[in-house]
Structure 1
Amino acid sequence: MDRAMRIFFVLIMTIVVSEFAAIIFECYYGTNNELYNAADVVQSILIFWYFSINLKKPILGTLLMLSTLVFGVVNYYFVQSESLVNNYFLLWSGTIVIGLCLYQMSSLAQRQNSIRLIRSAHFLIAFALLCYWVINMLNFQLFNYVAMNHTEYAIFMNIAHLCSNIITYLSFAFIFFHLSKLIQ
């Protein structure tokens, strides 16, 4: 496993821990938004670290990680309520992740014209992240409004988000279980 894949593995473990913690927070405190808002910042930093190593752009990665940390903290404490979904930060990080995924996919396509991209672990990760963020971007931006004004529809948004999470995590599981057969 190369260094970028190890960082991505740490990201996956961080997601697993935060999802279990979110269930516990929901049961004991009735909400888990504060936990998700903090976990989103950490997960975004790990994603940007993965891309900076994989794309061999350490300066870009460092700038993205630092600006994400600053924006995440400022947004959490001064811009949005802690009890709401952190949709300004998710718009920020989602837009950057989509851009990095597209850049990585086009970079791999140009460098690896002699191999099939479908066998590239990094291409599959970028594709899974791209699909996840494109599907969920609208959901993240509208959730607070829908939850406050049309609560009967919020459950459908939660179900759609849950389905996209399941598909994305199954994609990551497939990639890691078949890592020895994939090109890194």
Structure 2
Amino acid sequence: MHKNVDVLDLESETIQTGLTRVRDFNATGAKFVHVANKLLRNVLESALTQLPNDEDTVVTTPLGHKVKGVDYEEGVTVCGLALVERSLVSEQYVIFLLQLLLKTTLPFDSAIGQLQLSPPGDSPGALAAVDLPDGIEDMHVILLHPEFASFDVIQPAIQVKWTRRYMYGGHSIL
């Protein structure tokens, strides 16, 4: 793996609880969607903690009080990429949902893009479609793939097709 690529450790109690609930046979329909969305948001929040931050940020509340907190370092820009395999029956709907999740979880001014992998029978890991925002080489990229156990499927796409963009600048969190 490249030095600018971090793979999240999903061993936190919050993530493990979400994984358990998603795998539960009784989690069906709306309950499954709710649990899956919450799990993905928790994973995204975990990824955001990997970004460079300033622990001495001071903000002013609407009442004029000064409050010290933590915020991203100045100049940190984020790009969320939805990665979907073309073999999914409703891939466009999945892309829409992943992009909506990214838009509602990442910082307000984040860029959003997508990568679509070829179906497994074609060229495993080959990119079938790419929609990347301009300036991505200067952004911290968070790649969201709905199947947590499929890193082997996406690794070739990362290494061959688009990791080159980040070798001299950007940082990726998977």
Which category of TM-score, normalised to the shorter sequence, fits these structures? 0.3 to 0.5
TM-score (norm 1): 0.33
Compare the two structures and name the one with the higher strand fraction: 2
Compare the two structures and name the one with the higher helix fraction: 1
